[in-house]
Amino acid sequence: MPGNMPGIRDGHSWQLFLLSFLVLEGSTQDFGQTQFICTSVPKDMDLCAATMQNSGPAEDLKTTVMQLRETVLQQKETIMNQKETIRELTSKLSRCESQSLPEAGAGGRRIVPGAKNTMGDVSRGPQDTLAQLGQTLQTLKQRLENLEQYSRNNGTAQANSLKDLLQNKIDDMEKQVLSRVNTLEETKPGQKNDTDQRNRVESTLTSMHHRITDLEKGGKDNRPLDKFQLTFPLRTNYMYAKAKRTLPEMYAFTVCLWIKSNASPGVGTPFSYAVPGQANELVLIEWGNNPMEILINDKVAKLPFIINDGKWHHICITWTTRDGMWEAFQDGVLRGSGENLAPYHPIKPQGVLVLGQEQDTLGGGFDATQAYVGELANLNMWDRKLSIGEIYNLATCNSKAQTGNVFSWSESNIEIFGGATKWTFEPCRSLN
């Protein structure tokens, strides 16, 4: 800066402060000329204060500056508080994980039944939550692999005990995981990243339960393939089982199964069979406050079943294409019958049989509100009408009871998806 400028003296430290004022002339819409005023200000004096002393009309500017300063300080304090909150949440999450994932080694800690669900205590973003759940499942999977190795090496009662502990823990974790994923799906629909992560979680769950099944068999097929049940703990649109083979064309059928549920309203869809061009070729469903219904080619008959009492019940439905005659049996007793249900319409072949979901498209289009919640077992299907005596034998587990000639209940005949669980089950011995 030039040294001969007015207001500068040797031996003194001064600085220039430039302040511009806008001079208004006429109406508020017309602007006059702008003047620039140079004012010398001592070095140690507050620039804003000095400016205000020389600018009486600038009180509004001073107020604005002070408000901006206060806002900046408040924002800084808020950021510091948020950082502290993040540290606290991170610490809490670590504690939750340590509580929910006890070790399952030979000296593993005891798993306490009914322990508090800590999975949802920490509020996190959807992607972060799903990523955390995925890590949790991977940890469980690693522990399961360790247990498998231990079981192969030892084959003792202790290994079996540990296996049971792990199965119980996986079941608890599964319900928490699927509940959280389902909640996120409802609140953040249509986002590809969340969907991809959810699919990975489902895949891990399915893989774990298949491995548990292998452990239950002890590496050999010691247990009969039909002594199992499927459990659908939550109402979702991705938890289901599917038959590996399709059904033939049928002019009559009998379908029987064991069922247990206390879901309300409606137990959902125990099974559905869809064919190309007709999603409702054969469906058993109890939706909302409606009674259970059987659908054949989109034609409906209401069934006189009362099953949502949380107890095991054996149900059978028979049907013939001639006059559309049908009968409904509960616990071996005829409860109702009717006619004109899709008369002279044969059940079409080359379809997809799904357990636990109602199909809106061939093999898909699931709606969570129609999903089955509960347990089912021993679903068998015949291409003929069974007699009353044959149905009674099934309901009472008589040794003369037959298995389905169209679809028979066997682990080798179904695939499980989305975390539906498979447990050992023997009819009549495992009731209620």
Identity of the residue numbered 87: R
| pLDDT band of 256, cuts 50, 70, 90 | very high
Is residue 36's pLDDT more than 90?
no
**With DSSP H G I counted as helix, E B as strand and the rest as coil, what are the percentages for the chain, rounded to 5?**
35, 25, 40
What is the number of residues in the chain?
A: 432
Is residue 2's pLDDT more than 70?
no
Which of 30-44, 94-108, 165-179, 313-327 ranks highest by mean pLDDT?
A: 313-327
Is residue 18's pLDDT more than 50?
no
- What does pLDDT average to over the chain? 74
Is residue 11's pLDDT more than 50?
no
More confident residue, 107 or 225: 225
> What was the pLDDT predicted at 266?
92
> What was the pLDDT predicted at 312?
95
Is residue 80's pLDDT more than 90?
no
> What was the pLDDT predicted at 323?
94
Sign of the torsion formed by the C-alpha atoms of 381, 283, 311 and 171 = positive
Q: Determine what percent of the chain is predicted with pLDDT higher than 90.
A: 40
More confident residue, 21 or 209: 209
Please, which residues have CB within 8 angstroms of residue 362's CB and are 6 or more apart in sequence?
Answer: 274, 275, 276, 279, 351, 352
Judge contact between 279 and 362, C-beta under 8 A: yes
Question: In DSSP terms, which residues pair with 228 in a beta bridge?
Answer: 424
Question: What tokens appear for 151 in the block?
Answer: 């079981």
> What was the pLDDT predicted at 66?
72
Closest by CA to 260, choosing from 371, 375, 428, 426, is: 375
Instruction: Determine if the peptide bond prior to 265 is cis (ω within 30°).
Output: yes
> What was the pLDDT predicted at 419?
85
> What was the pLDDT predicted at 135?
62
| pLDDT band of 425, cuts 50, 70, 90 | confident
More confident residue, 2 or 230: 230
| pLDDT band of 117, cuts 50, 70, 90 | very low
Is residue 181's pLDDT more than 60?
yes
Please state, in angstroms and rounded to a whole number, the distance separating the CA atoms of residues 179 and 50: 64
> What was the pLDDT predicted at 179?
66
| pLDDT band of 40, cuts 50, 70, 90 | low
> What was the pLDDT predicted at 21?
38
More confident residue, 364 or 121: 364
For the beta carbon of residue 305, count every other beta carbon within 10 angstroms.
22
Is residue 430's pLDDT more than 80?
no
Is residue 204's pLDDT more than 70?
no
Question: In DSSP terms, which residues pair with 17 in a beta bridge?
Answer: 39
Is residue 217's pLDDT more than 80?
no
Q: Which domains does the chain have, with CATH numbers?
A: 241-424 (2.60.120.200)
Is residue 220's pLDDT more than 50?
no
Average pLDDT over residues 393-422: 92
Average pLDDT over residues 384-391: 96
